[in-house]
């Protein structure tokens, strides 16, 4: 057990190092979310606090969704096939997928928090219950990372990964997105937290299903 945790730590470290050495990709993602927020801000031409809460919330999650798809799509294509084969001789496929999911969760958290602060900065912050909203962001980061990592593994094997990534992930991510929209809307309106427990449970259940499936299915995927 301790050995396997150590190996996963090494794999995570590899992911972070890889990202750090190709900083243009990371900077690209950061710029992508800031740029997307700014495009929305200018397109709506909204002065602070003019968007209705529903539009504010939905727009933010759509931006996050597109950022997530773009950020996670590259988790399998940025390394050459030969080098991936080498990793598979060193570690079990389960360790590889878990470390990739953990890494992508961390990446999504950074992107989501940055996106939220920029978004709140330019478009105003109507959120009443900020801790709950941040918790939603964390849950969303885990869910997006877990479901999109496996999908990006699937898409990377095909001819046309970019389109396929979008086509495969939109419907898969939708139940999660709807639940997250609901919780974050509750947080936005500052409703009592007990209202959100049901949805919170559903999000956790979906996260658990998706994580288990990634764990079970990835060993079949990498062999091809």
Helix/strand/coil (H, E, C) string of the chain? CHHHHHHHHHHHHHHHHHHHHCHHHHHHHHHHHHHHHHHHHHHHCCCCCCCCHHHHHHHHHHHHHHHHHHHHHCCCCCCCHHHHHHHHHHCCHHHHHHHHHHHHHHHHHHHHHHHHHHHHHHHCCCCCCHHHHHHHHHHHHHHHHHHHHHHHHHHHCCCCHHHHHHHHHHHHHHHHHHHHHHHHHHHHHCCCHHHHHHHHHHHHHHHHHHHHHHHHHHHHHHCC
Judged by CB under 8 A, the stretch of 3-11, 115-123, 128-136, 146-154 that binds other proteins is 146-154
Q: Is 206 in the site for other proteins (CB under 8 A)?
A: yes
Q: Is 159 in the site for other proteins (CB under 8 A)?
A: yes
Q: Is 223 in the site for other proteins (CB under 8 A)?
A: yes
Taking the complex as a whole, how short is the minimal distance between the CB of residue 136 and other proteins, in angstroms?
16
Q: Is 175 in the site for other proteins (CB under 8 A)?
A: yes
Nearer to other proteins by Cβ, of 10 and 162: the residue is: 162
Taking the complex as a whole, how short is the minimal distance between the CB of residue 156 and other proteins, in angstroms?
10
Judged by CB under 8 A, the stretch of 4-12, 109-117, 127-135, 168-176 that binds other proteins is 168-176
Question: Which of 199, 200, 207, 211 touches other proteins by CB under 8 A?
Answer: 199
Give me the residues that bind other proteins (CB under 8 A), please: 147, 150-151, 154, 157-160, 164, 167-168, 170-172, 174-175, 178-179, 182, 198-199, 202, 205-206, 209-210, 213, 217, 220-221, 223-224
């Amino acid at each position: 057990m301790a050995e396997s945790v150590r190996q996963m730590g090494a794999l995570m470290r590899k992911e972070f190092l890889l990202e750090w050495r190709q900083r243009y990709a990371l900077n690209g993602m950061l710029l992508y979310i800031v740029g997307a927020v700014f495009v929305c801000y200018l397109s709506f031409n909204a002065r602070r606090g003019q968007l209705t809460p529903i539009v504010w919330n939905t727009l933010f999650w759509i931006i996050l969704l597109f950022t997530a798809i773009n950020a996670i799509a590259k988790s399998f294509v940025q390394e050459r096939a030969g080098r991936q084969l080498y990793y598979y001789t060193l570690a079990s496929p389960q360790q590889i997928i878990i470390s990739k999911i953990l890494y992508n969760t961390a990446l999504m958290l950074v992107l989501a928090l940055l996106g939220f602060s920029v978004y709140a900065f330019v478009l105003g912050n109507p959120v009443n219950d900020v801790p709950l909203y941040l918790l939603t962001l964390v849950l969303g980061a885990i869910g997006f990372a877990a479901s999109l990592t496996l999908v990006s593994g699937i898409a990377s094997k095909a001819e046309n990964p970019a389109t396929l990534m979008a086509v495969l992930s939109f419907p898969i991510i939708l139940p999660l997105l709807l639940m997250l929209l609901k919780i974050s809307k509750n947080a936005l309106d500052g409703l009592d937290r007990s209202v959100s427990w049901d949805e919170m449970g559903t999000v956790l259940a979906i996260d658990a299903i998706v994580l288990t499936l990634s764990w079970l299915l990835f060993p079949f995927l990498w062999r091809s």
